[in-house]
Structure 1
Amino acid sequence: MRPMDTRVETPLAFMKMHGLGNDFVVVDARARALALTENQIMAIAHRQKGVGFDQLAVITLGKKGSNANAHLTFYNADGSTSAACGNATRCIARHLINESGAESLTLTTDRGTLVAREAGNGLVSVNMGHPQLRWEEVPLAHEMETLELPIEGAPTATGMGNPHCTFFVEDVDSVDLEAFGAAHEYHPLYPERTNVQIAQIVGENHIRMRVWERGVGTTLASGSSSCATAVAAARRGLTGREVQIDLDGGTLWINWAEDGVWMTGETEHVMSGSFTPEFLERHK
């Protein structure tokens, strides 16, 4: 019997997008079955030999019975999966809103069902759902209060479909984020690793934040990290529930409302292109 031919025969189209410099490769697989391997994802993520991204997002058709416009799946640069990616969700929502002409739409992710809407002036809002505040939801390794963890600096743990660890400091720019983030991503209290934020209160309902993303490293922005930081600041009485967050790549506005955590900000579709069959075949 002849072996099955698994060669990639046709180019694979993609879009390069970013939200405040948090950059993504987006593949629309609504009309094409797609199964990228971990090796292919890491090859695409390479910033010299591939395209480069903080996360890769795959758009597929909404699941039957969900009434969703599309389903989104996210991958980190190391090939691991993530249930949530706020800025990528906003970027894709902008693409789908432009495509359909709708003012709002519904997306499903491994995090759950998310609503996105046109916010005017080039902005897009996404409801990232309710924060996960109990230790087993984040998740943490064992039962404890999540407001102040028994880690030096007493950070706050929050789940937004992915785990977060938020440190409030006097000066975010004085922290060596490369060393600090790497040291805490694999903390034993976080069995699934964690995103790490360092945040500084710079005014009333105004936060300056820097981000270390699980499976990626330092990034210019992170939507889910911004949501987690806003929730942590409100829980600790440092701000109200509606805040401005200034990241290295720009500004997001977060509103922890009764129906979930709304995130609003800019997006940009940088380019469209395609991966050659030779590239995909080589890195299977």
Structure 2
Amino acid sequence: MIPFVKMHGLGNDFVIVDDRDGAFALDRATRQAMADRRRGIGCDQLLVLEKPNNGHGDVFMRVYNPDGGEVEACGNGTRCVAALVMDEGTKDALGVETVAGILASTRNPDDTVSVDMGEPRLRWDQIPLAREMDTLSVDMTYIPYSDPVAVNMGNPHIVFFVDDAEAVPLEECGPVLENDPLLPERANIEFVSKNPDGSLRMRVWERTAGITQACGSGACAVVVAATRRGLVDRKARIHLDGGALDLEWREDGHVIMTGPTAFSFRGEWMQ
């Protein structure tokens, strides 16, 4: 049996397995089975906790998509893991180590969790794209949507700015854009519109996961892309299907994401 915790950040849901003792061997088939929403537990990502590798973080987090493949980063997942580990002791700040680096996480007085997601990568070969181009104006079109911005926040994102994000047929264009030949590692796809109050509305298609309620790294990519396009001044409240996140792209280049986390239930997976 494999004990797990189910948590979510704005409906972006995760199965978290604590393997800091090295007791479990989760092969790809097991990871896929656990993430399956019809025959397993179901989640947007499976998060596996391990001992930190370099002594600087408090816990190491591995991130797996529903297809069982490992990915680099998960913003909402980081916030959930940080909250879970902070609940084990008295710390209100810790470092979550990932393959993308150590993410400093802090619990705020209102019980939200902030995560320093680090600096965005903006060169074409850092996204990565299949050929050299300006990442502020990517040569990608799904009629009538075109001219997106590319940002890597530990994983690749393609951000389209549109008049009305609600009107985008995301279930149709999401899988096509995710698998565009320009994206050798595929990408998360965000459609964003600006609200009258200056906040942003974002809808997201996550690679291999499909439409999700929220995507933390996607929201980080959006505040960077919106700042580069002159739509916001380095800060934004971003409204996703599952709720709102507060983002800031600080002057030092780091992106800070703040939002709530929620515990769903504990269980055991029968192998």
TM-score interval w.r.t. the shorter chain? over 0.9
Deviation per residue, 1:22-64 (Å, 9 max, x gap):
0000000112333211111111111121100000000111114
For residue 107 of structure 1, give the secondary structure of its aligned residue in structure 2. Answer: strand
Bigger Rg, structure 1 or 2: 1
CA RMSD of aligned residues (A): 1.0
Residue ranges of structure 2 left out of the alignment (5+ in a row): none
Cα distance between partner residues in 2 of 1:259 and 1:196: 22
2-side partners of 1:33 and 1:68: how far apart?
A: 21
Name stretches of at least 5 consecutive residues in structure 1 with no aligned partner: 1-10
Aligned pair partner of 1:92 in 59, 72, 81: 81
User: Using the alignment, how far apart are the partners of 2:128 and 2:190 within structure 1?
Assistant: 17
Report the identity percentage. Answer: 44
1:35-184 alignment runs, 5 A limit:
35-64=25-54, 66-152=55-141, 153-184=146-177
Kindly indicate whether residue 247 of structure 2 is the aligned counterpart of residue 264 of structure 1. Answer: no
Q: 8 Å contact 1:76–1:215 — kept in the other structure?
A: yes
Choose from 194, 216, 229 the match for 2:222. Answer: 229
Q: What is residue 2 of structure 2 aligned with on the other side?
A: 12
Shift of 1:259: 5.0
- Alpha-carbon distance, 1:142 to partner: 1.5
Deviations 1:166-219 (A, max 9, x none): 000111111111111011001111100000000001145410000000111000
CA–CA distance in 1 between the matches of 2:42 and 2:139?
Answer: 36
1:201 aligns with 2:194: yes
CA distance in 2, matches of 1:25, 1:120: 26
Return the letter of the residue paired with 1:149. V
Structure 1 length-normalised TM: 0.91
Single out whichever of 156-165 and 98-107 deviates more from structure 2: 98-107
CA contact (8 A) 2:199 2:237 kept: yes
Contact in 1 for aligned 2:128/2:184 (Cα 8 Å): yes
- Give the deviation of 1:103 after TM superposition: 1.6
TM-score (norm 2): 0.96
Distance 1:263 1:251 in 2: 11
Aligned length: 266
Partners of 1:170 and 1:15 in 2: CA distance: 39
Q: What SS class does the counterpart of residue 93 from structure 1 fall into?
A: helix
